[in-house]
Every structure is written in structure tokens, then in C-alpha cells.
Amino acid sequence: MTNTRDYARERDADWATGAAMLISAECLAAVGPWDESFFLYSEETDYCLRARDRGFKLRYSPKATATHIGGSRTPRRSSGRS
């Protein structure tokens, strides 16, 4: 979704960030685990695609929230410029 107004309503989506996803036991059994051979930030997109290929839908809800307590972030790489 590229238009911020799209975040105001519940809707189907193609993929979501893996930071906060709820996956049903039925979907997990059908799709299997995440493919950890992906390097940073692609495994959730792959998972959503595999789930969709097996008939599952991804649903975005603006009422759902998640709070990360203590987490971390990916460090920035130096561009080598001064």
C-alpha cells in the first residue's frame, strides 16, 4: 500500500512485514516454516507468496497493534564517504 489512506481500513494485502504477523496453525501446516536461506527482509514476502499459492489470504487490520520491547535494528553500513 502506497497511499496512507489505505492504512485506515481493513483489507487484503499481498505481503506484510514479518515483525508482526499472526499465522494460523492451518496455514503453517500447509505452507511449512519460513525459508531461512533468505538474507534479511525477504523471507516474509516469500512466505506470503507461498501461502497465497495455497489459497490463504493475508489480511491487514488497522486495529491490530504490536509493541516491541527491547528489540534492535539492523545496523547501517558505512558508505565509505567522509
Give 50's DSSP letter.
H
Return the C-alpha cell found at 53: 499459492
**pTM (2 d.p.):** 0.71
Q: What pLDDT sits at residue 26? A: 97
**What would you report as the CA-atom Rg of the chain, rounded to the nearest whole angstrom?**
16
Which among 15, 67, 60 has a CA at the least distance from the CA of 41? 15
Which residue in this structure is represented by grid cell 534479511? 40
pLDDT tens string, the chain, 82 residues long: the values are 677 887 888 989 888 887 788 899 999 999 999 898 987 778 999 999 999 999 999 998 989 888 878 766 667 666 555 4
Give 62's DSSP letter.
T
Q: What pLDDT sits at residue 17? A: 80
